[in-house]
Amino acid sequence: MGASYIYSGGTVTVESLADGGSGVARHQGKVVFIPDAVPGDVVFFSVVEDRKSFIKGKLEELLTPSPHRTDPFCPHAETCGGCQWQHVAYPKQLVAKQRIVADALERIAGVKGADVPPAVPSPAVRGWRALLEVQCEAGARGVRVGFYAQKSRRIVEVGECPVALPPLSHRLVGAGGALSALKFRGRGELRLLAGEGDRVAAALTLPGDFIPGEKAARAVMRRLDVSGLVIANRSGSRIFGDPQVVYPGSNGFPGGAMSFRADGFVQANPGVNKQLIDALLSHELPGKQVLELFSGGGNFTLPLAARGAHVTAVERDAALAAAAAQVLHRAGFEESRVFSADAVEYLADLGKAGERFDAVVLDPPRTGAPEAARLISALGIREVFYVSCAPATLARDVGILTENGYRLVSALPFDMFPHTFHVETLARLVRDG
């Protein structure tokens, strides 16, 4: 176990940025992780935790600022946990994300010299976020709305959020007052999803078994100015109005516009999502049998089908699967289909049925899909396109695939989340022979 007390460390020059957001330096043969530090900074640090192979430090004094250090544009940047890198110049953020992906693949997957191109930048670095997830806490003095503080569950109240699309940012201003009509107690989460035009939908998760009545819910909708509201608790959910919106910019996607509900999975950055879809479609998939796992509401399903791929999409959430199937039906892509099923169970059944696919596309949650990777290997599908928002679990699963006959061709990072350490990656693997 590392030491829990704090003692003086020393002076170091910060070399890079790590997954998790900290600056990385070296001191007396150990790696030092220092939050709020920027590559090129010369800092004096103290030791918060001393482990066998690394040190967790605290920036005590900035001796020489890095040329890559910049002033945050949000007044809450130093306390809010939403953006960790607003003090880092954007080009340096992209360099860091490329390195984070490459390092994870080498360290965890054992793939040395992987083809990791420069990270694809976001078309917008402010006003890019189409989905906001904010915490709300109801007490005797009303409802506080904001984001968790860095490495804490303390809520930082904010007004407008400069990384959100304007329709979302504007609705944050009165969110606390709007939610006070529900008269709940405890903590919940509010999701705001922006659609085309000024249309916004909302989803609210409340503590306990409390679900308000129609009158109170409609009052919240009016004050938030949203088209619909999904209210859920541990027992179930109830829908008020229409909580579905047309995803921003999706009118330009192959196959037409896509609609999503406020309580379902949605990529937060429409501009980068379009770039990610375009990168996937650049591969030779038309006419091929494509298995899509963790398909959600059809983010990749519709564009793949529109380009001529015969898609079998698998999504465990029945509501999301039904929405994707409806979109396919409306677009007339009868060669593609959607199943509501667990991905691992579906893959296991495929092995028994002997059904064959040319390629598999998977976009699992942050925890990854190790068992799916093992079953994909057993099925012998020639080409794998793995979309991930977590370099560590991506690298773990790439390791499983490479141990079972696959070769990593490329891993292309996308800056889906500017000013954070998070990075989206499209990895392509092939089975030779």
Alpha helices by DSSP H, listed for 173-309, are 175-179, 214-224, 270-281, 301-306
- Rounded CA-CA distance 304/165 in Å is 27
Confidence (pTM): 0.93
Which helix (H) or strand (E) element contains residue 156? strand 155-157
**pLDDT at residue 360, as a whole number:** 98
Ramachandran sector of residue 368 (left: φ over 0; alpha: ψ -120 to 50; beta: rest):
left
- What the chain holds in terms of domains, given with CATH numbers, is 7-64 (2.40.50.140), 99-123+268-431 (3.40.50.150), 131-245 (2.40.50.1070)
Instruction: Return the pLDDT at 1.
Output: 39
Per-residue tens of pLDDT for the chain, all 433 residues: 344 457 788 999 999 999 999 999 999 999 999 999 999 999 999 999 998 889 999 999 999 999 999 999 999 998 998 999 999 999 999 999 999 999 999 999 999 999 999 999 999 999 999 999 999 998 878 899 999 998 888 999 888 899 999 999 999 988 999 998 888 888 999 999 999 988 999 999 998 887 788 899 999 999 999 999 999 988 888 999 999 999 998 877 766 788 899 998 899 999 999 999 999 999 999 999 999 999 999 999 999 999 999 999 999 999 889 988 988 888 889 899 999 999 999 999 997 887 899 999 999 999 999 999 999 999 989 999 999 999 999 999 999 999 999 999 999 999 999 999 999 999 999 998 6
Give the residue numbers marked as catalytic.
389
The per-residue pLDDT for 91 is 98
Q: What angle is formed at CA 46 by the lines to CA 41 and CA 49, rounded to 5 degrees? A: 115
In this prediction, residue 5 carries a pLDDT of 53
- Distance in angstroms (rounded) separating the CA atoms of residues 220 and 179: 6
Strand, helix or coil for residue 283: coil
**Quick one: pLDDT at residue 311?**
97
Question: Taking the C-alpha atoms of 179, 183, 184 and 190 in order, what is their torsion angle to the nearest 10 degrees?
Answer: -10
Count of residues for the chain? Answer: 433
Residue owning tokens 């420069």: 118
d(CA 269, CA 274): 9
For residue 433, the model assigns a pLDDT of 66
